[in-house]
Amino acid sequence: MAYDPDNIFARILRGEADAHLVLNEEHCMAFMDVMPQSPGHTLVIPRQPAEDIFELGAESLNHLVAATRRVAQAVRTAFNPGGVMVMQLNGADAGQTVFHIHFHVIPRYAGEGLTLHARSMADARQLDEHAAKIRAALPAP
């Protein structure tokens, strides 16, 4: 399948669609998932257009992993969860629904399951608050 330049994350990268931004840098962007599986669920994406991990250039992947770790650190500081899940899906059969590669950063708590994947929209004001909390905890590159 060819990369679709009109996928929602490409539109966010171009500023054509809104997002609750956590990080906006030379190589990567991070923003709140609008249908969080746990409060604080953040997505990290490269600027390079690539559907999945197989298409992304090695250098962009390195930047993406480094940015994902910083976001995971910030999510841990901001929400103090028991653990932080980092997840990345490739292909519809693996559950991928947006075809611009992204890492999910999801706070987890002992005994608490996850909300179902991409089912219910969160309150926009709450997402703004969560983004601000994570931005404030973001370590330097």
Binding piece for ligand 5GP, criterion CB under 6 A, among 27-35, 66-74, 76-84, 107-115: 27-35
Binding part of the chain for ligand 5GP, among 22-30, 49-57, 59-67, 93-101 by CB under 6 A, reads: 93-101
Phi, psi dihedrals of residue 117, rounded to the nearest 5°: -55, 125
- 102 is annotated as an active-site residue: yes
The reply to whether 96 sits near ligand 5GP by the rule CB under 6 A is yes
Cβ pair 32, 131 in contact under 8 A: yes
Catalytic residue among 63, 100, 102, 104: 102
Asked if 103 interacts with ligand 5GP (CB under 6 A), we say no
> Which one of residues 45, 56, 84, 89 is an interface residue with ligand 5GP (CB under 6 A)?
89
The beta-strand segments (E) located in the chain are 21-24, 28-32, 42-46, 83-87, 103-108
Chain-centroid distance, C-alpha 94: 17
CB 99 within 8 A of CB 1: yes
End-to-end CA distance of the chain: 33
Q: Please select the residue that binds ligand 5GP; options are 10, 31, 67, 74, rule is CB under 6 A.
A: 31
Q: At what angle do helices 124-136 and 58-79 cross, to 10 degrees?
A: 100
Indicate whether 118 belongs to the interface with ligand 5GP (CB under 6 A). Answer: yes
Q: Of the candidates 3, 7, 27, 35, which one interacts with ligand 5GP according to CB under 6 A?
A: 35
Q: Where do we find the tokens 């929602």?
A: 8
Interacting residues toward ligand 5GP by CB under 6 A: 8, 19, 31-35, 89, 95-98, 118
